[in-house]
Structure 1
Amino acid sequence: MLTCSGAEGSTGNSSDLDSVIASIKDFDITPENTRLFLPQVKWEKLASMYVPGRSGSECEARWLNCEDPLIDHHPWTSVEDKNLLHIVQQRGISNWIDIAVSLGTNRTPFQCLARYQRSLNASIMKRGWTEDEDEKLRAAVEVFGESSWQDVASSLEGRTGTQCSNRSVNLLNDDIEFSLNFG
């Protein structure tokens, strides 16, 4: 590696540095070109130099799932929802990488999974609550509080954080109403 400070890899010849600068000077840094460069990134070195306390794999995952400029962070459209449902119906829910590629809207596999599970999965979204689930919900809220709904939901199979939050409000209102009428 050639550096200005004459560190490891430098021959000390300023013409070497000039040739490196000249070779990259006109390089068009687009998101697409950045993707071509990713296999060469030394994630562990990057993490140790710029993100103390994080591993290289954490930095790579963050880039691939959040920071890549090609990722679509806009709200989901109804057309995307319809296409996502169609792809899931055709292919099942076992390969979210394939589903994201098939969707073709620069969504990550995780975005597709989260959108489907939180907003489109009819088996999760429409079913009623059982007394057993209500008890588990109360217990999870005791443990995790009312600010960490995804943690609460992780205690209840097949429930989302939003569902747990909404149900908790309804249960609290039911409990208050019960105590006012019978307490």
Structure 2
Amino acid sequence: MHVYRVHIFTVVCALNRFMASTISFTFNVNFLCLSLFACLCVCVSSGETWQKTLLIHSVTRDSLRRLIQPKLSKVDYLSQKLSRAAETDKQQLRQQMDSLERDIELFRAKKDNELVGDRFDEHDWQKISNIDFEGTREAEDLRSFWQNFLHPSISKLKWSKEEVHQLKEISRRHEQRHWETIAAELGTGRTAFLCLQTFQRFVSDSLKHGGWTPDEDALLRELVDKMRIGNFIPYTQMSYFMEGRDPAQLIYRWNQVLDPSLKKGFWTKEEDQVGRGRGLDRTHLVVIASDGFFTHYWAKNKSLGR
């Protein structure tokens, strides 16, 4: 079994430190990487929803253990005391033990949604990492993913136009700083990170529309190399680290220009034969599915001089 993990930064609380900071929104891209990567390095692809289900189950089971453990310890203590108690005291001890065992059964009957607790409740993340995930996910990555993305209190709904407009107004009042405060004032179940993410994608007017610089190309290559999970390239997450570029721009730049597997130049006779065999010629747009995205290749006779 191959485990694809990103080991760039080991920042534990960088996200919270960044959201609470007083720096302006026009920050350096490298600082953004340092601040946000702690929670993004654990993002799972859409094909790994079982990991999300496992994490929810692990957290609720840990919550149940924390509720039950003190009572189990008390039962064990009373049981030892019962073995040494006088007959006149045994009835009272049994009643106490019966009451504790009823409480334990009530806890065990709780549903998962009653056990998730608060976003920032403490859990044994190391145990969850080592036992439930068999070491395939770091403890701090699991904690960050739970607190910033997966907790049931976090809204997973698509952002409405009204919500984005409210975000624009609130972030303007706070000068694009203090994202925890902005998220709380928005009051729609979004985390500070999700507010920053949406601001960067839909509100900020800092998107670039000009040509790519060599530094941007180098950063995109590095992000693909570091964040790629098997054949999956998380363009949306990568766009958070490239100031002024949206996911569509990254997709086009990588698939049309930078991907080292691209074949450039004249079509071979074999390629022509394959295309004709499928009812296509070189003037058609061939749409190739790649990692959940669509890459568009134009093969034009005139542009190739053939």
The share of aligned pairs that are identical, in percent, is 20
**Higher mean C-alpha displacement, 87-96 vs 43-52:** 43-52
For 1:136-167, what per-residue CA distance to the aligned partner results, in whole angstroms no more than 9, with x for missing partners? Answer: 44994699499633587578543222222245
Q: 1:132 aligns to what?
A: 213
Q: 2:118 aligns to what?
A: 35
Count of aligned residue pairs for this structure pair: 177
**Structure with bigger RCO (C-alpha 8 Å, 6+ apart):** 2
TM-score for both structures, normalised by structure 2 = 0.44
- Indicate which of 180, 183, 188 corresponds to 1:97: 180
SS of aligned partner of 1:35? coil
Residues in 2 aligned to 1:48 and 1:157: alpha-carbon distance in whole angstroms: 36
TM-superposed CA distance for 1:104, in Å, is 0.3
Normalized per residue, which structure has more helix? 1
What do you get for the CA RMSD once the two structures are aligned?
A: 4.5
**Higher mean C-alpha displacement, 107-116 vs 9-18:** 9-18
SS of aligned partner of 1:115? helix
Q: 2:127 aligns to what?
A: 45
Asked whether the equivalents of residues 180 and 191 of structure 2 are also in contact (C-alpha less than 8 Å), the reply is yes
Counterparts in 2 of 1:44 and 1:176: CA distance versus 1, 3 Å: same
- Indicate which of 139, 144, 147 corresponds to 1:61: 144
TM-superposed CA distance for 1:43, in Å, is 2.8
TM-superposed CA distance for 1:30, in Å, is 5.3
For the pair 1:160 / 2:243, whether they are aligned, the reply is no
Asked whether the equivalents of residues 137 and 156 of structure 1 are also in contact (C-alpha less than 8 Å), the reply is no
For the pair 1:106 / 2:189, whether they are aligned, the reply is yes
Asked whether the equivalents of residues 144 and 151 of structure 1 are also in contact (C-alpha less than 8 Å), the reply is no
Q: 1:85 aligns to what?
A: 168
Residues in 1 aligned to 2:240 and 2:189: alpha-carbon distance in whole angstroms: 28
TM-score for both structures, normalised by structure 1 = 0.67
Asked whether the equivalents of residues 97 and 108 of structure 1 are also in contact (C-alpha less than 8 Å), the reply is yes
Runs of 5+ in structure 1 lacking a partner?
none
Counterparts in 2 of 1:143 and 1:94: CA distance versus 1, 3 Å: closer
Residues in 2 aligned to 1:142 and 1:180: alpha-carbon distance in whole angstroms: 31
- Give the letter aligned to residue 213 of structure 2: D
Counterparts in 2 of 1:24 and 1:60: CA distance versus 1, 3 Å: same
Asked whether the equivalents of residues 71 and 107 of structure 1 are also in contact (C-alpha less than 8 Å), the reply is yes
Asked whether the equivalents of residues 2 and 17 of structure 1 are also in contact (C-alpha less than 8 Å), the reply is no
Asked whether the equivalents of residues 138 and 168 of structure 1 are also in contact (C-alpha less than 8 Å), the reply is no
TM-superposed CA distance for 1:68, in Å, is 1.1
TM-superposed CA distance for 1:123, in Å, is 1.6
Asked whether the equivalents of residues 171 and 177 of structure 2 are also in contact (C-alpha less than 8 Å), the reply is no
SS of aligned partner of 1:163? helix
- Give the letter aligned to residue 251 of structure 2: S
Asked whether the equivalents of residues 43 and 60 of structure 1 are also in contact (C-alpha less than 8 Å), the reply is yes
Asked whether the equivalents of residues 197 and 240 of structure 2 are also in contact (C-alpha less than 8 Å), the reply is no
Counterparts in 2 of 1:18 and 1:111: CA distance versus 1, 3 Å: same
**Higher mean C-alpha displacement, 58-67 vs 95-104:** 58-67
- Give the letter aligned to residue 180 of structure 1: S
Asked whether the equivalents of residues 71 and 104 of structure 2 are also in contact (C-alpha less than 8 Å), the reply is no
For the pair 1:116 / 2:202, whether they are aligned, the reply is no
SS of aligned partner of 2:76? coil
Q: 1:10 aligns to what?
A: 76
- Give the letter aligned to residue 68 of structure 1: H
Computing the radius of gyration from Cα coordinates, the structure with the larger value is 2
Residues in 1 aligned to 2:99 and 2:130: alpha-carbon distance in whole angstroms: 27
Runs of 5+ in structure 2 lacking a partner?
1-68, 80-96, 226-230, 258-263, 265-295
Residues in 1 aligned to 2:122 and 2:76: alpha-carbon distance in whole angstroms: 20
